[in-house]
Homo-oligomer: A and B are copies of this chain.
Amino acid sequence: MIRAETKIRVRYGETDQMGYAYYGIYAQYYEVGRVEAIRKLGFSYKEVEQRGIFLPVIDFSVNYRKPAYYDDELTIITSIKELPRGVRIPFEYECYNSANELLNTGKVTLASVDKNTGKLCQMPDWLVQAFTPFFSK
């Protein structure tokens, strides 16, 4: 299992007129969490792209329980619970505020795409091998 914890503070421009962090902003917050989870593999998402692989999102869902507010410091917990295989990397999320209240949970699936052809492709060996040690008994 891979697990990363990321702190994010809600910006003013991310609030809406309800005074909540806008529901769509979690796409960005989850992405920041993903970047931290991938760094645990020993390289950055930026390097993944430089090696010729894009990882666009193919599935995204959020279940909202409570809103976040301006200036709240949120903790995003990003997990990969099963060894990614084939073309898909599944992430799970929990988002807490500083009172440790669970604000939302979510899922994101990335797909492996060849940067040159723009088509889905099996994850390259170097990527699968980077994941493997986190999932062996």
Contacts and interface: CB of A to CB of B under 8 A. Distances in A.
Interface of A: 9, 11-20, 22-28, 31-32, 35, 44-46, 49, 54, 56-65, 67, 70-71
A13 B16 contact: yes
A77 B63 CA distance: 22
Please give the count of copies of this chain that the complex contains. Answer: 4
Interface of A: prevailing SS: mixed
B12 A35 contact: yes
Nearest to A54: B18
B63 A59 contact: yes
Contact of A13 (B9, B27, B59, B70): B27
B23 A71 contact: no
Contacts of A54: 18
B58 A60 contact: no
A54 to B, nearest CB: 6
A44 B25 CA distance: 22
B67 A35 contact: no
Contacts of A59: 61-64
A70 B65 CA distance: 25
Contact of A12 (B17, B65, B70): B17
Nearest to A16: B15
B71 A44 contact: yes
A23 B22 CA distance: 15
